[in-house]
Structure 1
Amino acid sequence: MFKTMSVLLTGIESLINKIGKATLWVALSMIGLVALNVLLRYAFSFGSIWAQELEWHLLAAMILLGMSYAIQQGDNVRVDLFYAGFSARKKFIVDVVSVVLILLVSLIFLKLSLAYVGQSYSIDEQSADPGGFRYRWVVKGLIPLGYGLLTLQSIGALLRLVLERSQPAGGHHV
């Protein structure tokens, strides 16, 4: 059973890690696009609504695709002042409760966002601005994708907690 859990955990963490690293390129693209838009707007009096909207869409992609990676790397917000003084048992309880809460929230957002994206697709939603982004449902599709990844990461975190907790002294599951 532990071997199966370990293999599943490795697969989840590998996927989240790859997507997290790809998100770095999204961040660099967004920075480059913002710099280019500022240069074009102020140096050449040329602006593009589509490019400005793309900045926001890249930001959404960075946040939605990067949040599961941030959780995996431990870059999420936690009150370490108290946590550091907890016993191993209390840390385990806090970690499990935290992961379960994240899992529940991500499942709720995942469920709600599917209808939201479906509606956007069915009406062929596009930007209200002339020259704006035509396929708004593609960007909205990042919402269930991001929360689906967060759900996977939460499952992976629970697996890791269980494997680490059940590890015999001197043994190694993960």
Structure 2
Amino acid sequence: MLKVLRPLATVIEGFIDRIGGLTAWIALVMIGLVATNVLLRYTFSYGSVWAQELEWHLLAALILLGMSHALQRGENVRVDLFYARYSPKAKRVVDVISALLLIAVALAFIHLSLGYVEQSRSIMEGSPDPGGIPYRWAVKALIPLGYGLLVLQQLAQLFRLLSTPLQPQEAARV
């Protein structure tokens, strides 16, 4: 059973990598959009509600789609004050508990956001501002999607932790 977990983790992490590549393009588009908006606003005194809202929507996509990739790459903020001094076995226990807790929190966010997204979709919520972006439910739908990706990434992390035995020298130090 444990031999199946490592290839499954590799598949999930490959998928998360592809999503991470998409978020890099979203960041590039967002930078171009912000630069264009600033140029138009301060050079030609022209502003667009639609373009400003698109900046926020792209930022939401960047964060929600990119958080699982950042976590996979270890680019999240960590506090290693105590963790660095733990034995390999204790580190593994902390990593497993952390993965399980993050999965639980992410599942709670998914559960809580589904009604929020459905309500927005059912009324075809759009921007309250004239000239704003319609279909606000679409950006809200990124909430359960982003947290779903986080669950997948943490499952892959958990699979890797459970399928990798402690090295003999690591186990001897415990």
User: Counterpart amino acid of 2:3?
Assistant: K
Partners of 1:163 and 1:78 in 2: CA distance: 24
Partner of 2:171: none
Q: Does 1:133 align with 2:133?
A: yes
The number of aligned residues is 169
Give per-residue Cα distances to partners, 1:63-82, cap 9 Å, x unaligned.
00000001111112221232
TM-score normalised to structure 1 length: 0.93
Moved over 3 A (4+): none
**Over aligned residue pairs, what C-alpha RMSD do you find?**
1.4
Contact 2:3 2:163 in 1 (8 A): no
TM-score normalised to structure 2 length: 0.93
Structure 2 SS opposite 1:158:
helix
In structure 2, stretches of 5+ residues that fail to align are 169-174
Partners of 1:3 and 1:91 in 2: CA distance: 22
Give per-residue Cα distances to partners, 1:67-119, cap 9 Å, x unaligned.
00011111122212322221101111111111111111100001111111111
Partners of 1:102 and 1:3 in 2: CA distance: 24
Structure 2 SS opposite 1:112:
helix
In structure 1, stretches of 5+ residues that fail to align are 170-174
Of the structure 1 ranges 135-144 and 3-12, higher mean CA displacement relative to structure 2 is found in 3-12
Partners of 2:166 and 2:11 in 1: CA distance: 20
1:167 Cα deviation after fit: 6.0
Partners of 1:96 and 1:16 in 2: CA distance: 20
Partner of 1:76: 76
User: Counterpart amino acid of 2:142?
Assistant: L
